[in-house]
Structures are given as C-alpha cells and as structure tokens.
Structure 1
C-alpha cells in the first residue's frame, strides 16, 4: 500500500488526514481518550507537548548565517505578513472583541482564527513554488520566515488588537522551544541534521491529537466559512506581500504571492494560545476547524495565483 504517496498527493495531507481521523474518532466515540487512558489517551489529548518538541526541531533548521539577500527578502516577507495579520486583527477586534460570532453564516469566526490563519506561511508550498519559479536565494528566505512558526506572533497580533494580553513570561515561553532549537542547530550542524529530520515526522502526530479535540459537526459548519477565510488570506496577505516583495525585496512579486498561504502547523496555534490565556479556550474548536479549511484552500489557490502571475510576466518554470 502506498499510504505516504497518497497522503503526499493531498494538499496538506500529512496534516489534514490525521486531523480528520482524530476528529472522526472523537465525533463517533467521544469518550475514547478516557476509556483507554494511558498512551492512547495521551496521544489523543497531548497536542501541546508534541508541538513543543516540533518547535524545537523546527528551530534547528533556521541558520543564523543567512546572507544579506536572504535576510532582506525573508525579513520583508516576515514583517509584512505579521503586520498584515496584526492590522486585520485590530480591525476585526472592533467588531468581534475577544469572542466569536455565535449565530448566522459567520458562526465561529473570531480574531483568534483570523490572526492565526494569516500569521503563518506554508513553508513547503513556498519553497516548492520558489524552486519552480524563483532562485535558490528566494527559497532560502524561508529560513527567516519560519520564525512565524508557533503562537508567538499570533499572541502579539491579539495584543495589538487590544484583546486579552499575555504576560511577558508567557510570550517568552511561546518562543523558547524555537530559540532552543535555533541555538542547538547553529552550534552543531550534526544536531541540526538530527533534529530537522523529526519536523515532518511530528506533523501527523500533533495533527491527530488536535483532531481528537474536534467534533466533525463543527468542522462541517466551518466548511464554507473556512473556505472563504482561506480566500481572504490569499487576497489580503497576497496583496501586501506582493508589494513588499516588489518594493522592499526588489523582486517580481512571485515570492510574495508564494507566501500568501496558511501553514499546516497553524492548526495548533489556537490550542497553544488558549493554554496561555484561558479566555480563548471556548474559541479553540471553531478556530481550529476554520484554520484546517484555510490550509487546504490556500494550498490550492496559491499555486494557481503564482502560476498565473509568472505566466503574465513571462517567468518560465525551472526544469533543471
């Protein structure tokens, strides 16, 4: 059976499929974690420890010795995406506050869902598109952009929006695993090679655990709204990133458009944020479902937009 090959053909498959499996189990058998307990229960309820390890391993892949071009390009895209999420979050907070819409078509939408969806770029998608339409330095820019990973910038966005603040210890705690990984990876290249191998391996495990906290009825309700949020992520962040790439990064816009997506690991951000401030706990199920939809939608839309723009400006795909 070609299980991995099948999952690789699905946009965000290693994230989405395990998440759906966990959600199916929780929807049909909601007491599974309590019934079996032990390691099975821990697997179904332990997303945060797995995410902590994931961020250590992710941090090890970030190289301090980035070239000036990579720093400039990656910094421009990172700063623009984070600033865009903060501004949109601030505007949304004027209407939504700390809660979410609880009736009508927009049921479940919250500033938490919006900020988390817009803050984190799908690195694999970005690097794949830049490998096809860009140059290796543009691919390397993701080493800077990967600092988006984790709940830190989403917490910052929520703070900028004027919502419940986080104590400095909590903000620091959100980024310490990433920093530890960065230090280890830069002190010892063998540690970088060792830890980096675990990044893709851990994804389906924390995805399953996150899914085990979802009810598919909520995911179904989030379907169309999640798709529209995904379109908004591409449209809004794609516009600001495009201009940042053109005028700050001195590029042709392709790198900016390639970064206008939602990363699979953003699905874990609402739970991480809620663990730091319980006021967000009621929003986690709906925000997680919406972001899961965003991951799929942006993974489909971004390549289409990038291919269209590359063709329009006469950039041919690399075949080497």
Structure 2
C-alpha cells in the first residue's frame, strides 16, 4: 500500500521546510530528551543542522551559471539590491531601538532585528520561478540566478553589520559564503558535477528543517502566532511595493517584483547560523526562527494570488 506522503507535504506552502520543522518542534516539546536517549546517528539528526546546511549551500551554488549573469544582471541585480537595501533600512531602524536582543514581553515578545532582516533578505526562489514560468518571461525567470546569491546567512550578516549592530569577523563572513562559492565554481567547471550536486539540493531541506525544529519549543511557536502573521504581512506589503517599483525601473511591468515579495523556506535557518557566528544574537535565534518560518507560510500563501491579480491588471498573459 502506498501513502501520498510527498503529495501531502507538497500541498502545504513551504511544506518540505515547514512539516519537518514542525515534527522536530513537537518531539522537542513533548520528548525533549529523545536525542540524548538514542544518541548516535539518531541524535545527530536532531543536532546536525549546521553541517547539513553547509552541504546544502554547496549543492545550491552548483546550480548558478556564470553564463547567465551578464544577461540577467540588470533585472536580477536591481531586485537583489532592493532586497538588501530594505534589509539594511529595517536593520538600522530596529537596531536603534532593539539592538541585537529580542523583545522579551508584551504583544511583540520574540520580535528582533534579526527576525525581520532574515525574513526580508531571502526570496522564495521556487515560488518566484513558478510564477515567472506562468506570468513572466525567460529573462525574468533567469534573474533568480543572480538573486540566489542572497541565499544563506552571508547577506544577513553584512546587513546587520551595515546597520551598525554587532559586526562579524571577516573570516566568519568569508566562511559563510565559501560553501556557496565553492558550489558555483564546481558547477561551472563541470556540468556533470552540477547535475550531480543539484539533485541533492531539495533532499537536504527536510533534514536541516527537522534539526532546526528540534531546537524549538512549541510554546515559542504559540507565542509567535499573531506576530508571525504580522511579520509575513509586513514582508509581503513592504517588499511588494519596493520590488514592484524596482522592477519597473528595469523596464518590467512589476510582475517579477511582486513575485519576489516572499520569504524563502531556508531563511528559517539563517537566525541559527547568524547566532552560531556571533553569540550576541543567541537570545534572538530561537524566536526568530519561528517568526521567519511563519513569514514563509504567510508569504507563500499570499504572494501567488497577489502576483496573479497584478498580472491581470497589467495585461500579462499566463503561459499555458
């Protein structure tokens, strides 16, 4: 008998990230000693987010082609730059009031500069590509090859430093981007290696998601409910407006900009990675992971209908 496990997971927005993360969170909440009890490989599954993510970024980097960069640098560069500038602006404003630590009480408990910057900085590439395949052009879809450079903790670290918060040693910044850079080089030197490594990229997602979830407590998730919804709406509205304007400056009709107004599933891993590089963000990492995960769900649900509505308004034809 076959069960539609993958089909069911895929029906959830960001499912391959959200479902394993939720399972890990449930186990950690109700059986927190599981990893220590079993140890060995089972324990490693609960505690192995960082090494799995390192491999993930090598594999992801292998999919980025040098050849596409000049052709799509204009579109992708503007959209990428807009994301970075939004992150820096939010980092400067929130950093002035919050610094590196999260709010500890009240309606906004758990909110931090780290959570907002991580949610804004990373676009859901799969969602963007799918929407461009339906409403955009080939060049607009290819623009994500440039935008994918935002994947991982590197730009978030740079953004937080540019906002005047705790800086990161140059070795840490370089170390954060080396796996991605190594993948880019390997994939361009040997297309067979690109094919080999790229197939592993989606496989890694549920494993590092589970490990991240195993570091969370369900009580934190409950507390993040309405705040997580608000963060997702904030990302959608602010990113949507800024990215639409940015898209139009490159001669686009705004559809690509709105399609990029989302939070990537792997952005939920960024707070943990940032905190591992600079312990000043340790207190913010766990609640930020929950908030960013909520933003992933909210933006994954709302970005497609928003993009479709705008495409109809500007007369963009859906591709059959």
- Pair in the same fold by TM > 0.5: yes
CA-to-aligned-CA distance 1:55-77 (integer Å, 9 cap, x gap): 00000000011154411111111
Q: Which runs of 5+ in 2 are unaligned?
A: none
CA-to-aligned-CA distance 1:202-237 (integer Å, 9 cap, x gap): 000000000000001101110110111001001111
CA-to-aligned-CA distance 1:285-314 (integer Å, 9 cap, x gap): 100000010000000111121011111112
CA-to-aligned-CA distance 1:245-296 (integer Å, 9 cap, x gap): 101x210000011001000000100110011011111111100000010000
Moved more, 60-69 or 133-142: 60-69
Cα separation, 2, equivalents of 1:235 and 1:69: 29
Contact residue 69 and residue 145 of structure 2 kept, 8 A? no
Cα separation, 1, equivalents of 2:272 and 2:79: 26
Cα separation, 1, equivalents of 2:95 and 2:67: 38
What residue in structure 2 maps to residue 254 of structure 1? 255
Cα separation, 2, equivalents of 1:32 and 1:53: 25
What residue in structure 1 maps to residue 293 of structure 2? 292
What residue in structure 2 maps to residue 62 of structure 1? 64
1:117-136 correspondence runs (5 A):
117-136=119-138
What residue in structure 2 maps to residue 310 of structure 1? 311
* TM-score, scaled to structure 2: 0.98
CA-to-aligned-CA distance 1:117-163 (integer Å, 9 cap, x gap): 00000000000000000011111111111001100000011101111
Give the superposed CA RMSD: 0.8
Per the TM alignment, residue 180 of structure 1 is displaced from its structure 2 partner at its CA by 0.4
Cα separation, 2, equivalents of 1:160 and 1:68: 27
> What secondary structure, in the 3-state scheme, does the structure 2 residue paired with 1:310 have?
helix
Per the TM alignment, residue 316 of structure 1 is displaced from its structure 2 partner at its CA by 2.3
Per the TM alignment, residue 32 of structure 1 is displaced from its structure 2 partner at its CA by 0.9
Contact residue 102 and residue 283 of structure 2 kept, 8 A? no
Cα separation, 1, equivalents of 2:100 and 2:135: 41
> What secondary structure, in the 3-state scheme, does the structure 2 residue paired with 1:116 have?
helix
Aligned partner (choices 221, 226, 229) of residue 224 of structure 1:
226
Per the TM alignment, residue 177 of structure 1 is displaced from its structure 2 partner at its CA by 0.2
Indicate whether 1:204 and 2:206 are aligned.
yes
Cα separation, 2, equivalents of 1:180 and 1:76: 24
Q: Which runs of 5+ in 1 are unaligned?
A: none
Aligned partner (choices 75, 78, 91) of residue 73 of structure 1:
75
Indicate whether 1:27 and 2:29 are aligned.
yes
Contact residue 100 and residue 284 of structure 2 kept, 8 A? no
Cα separation, 2, equivalents of 1:250 and 1:69: 14
1:259-274 correspondence runs (5 A):
259-274=260-275
Aligned partner (choices 163, 166, 170) of residue 164 of structure 1:
166
> What secondary structure, in the 3-state scheme, does the structure 2 residue paired with 1:137 have?
helix
> What secondary structure, in the 3-state scheme, does the structure 1 residue paired with 2:224 have?
helix
**Aligned residue-pair number:** 318
> What secondary structure, in the 3-state scheme, does the structure 2 residue paired with 1:301 have?
helix
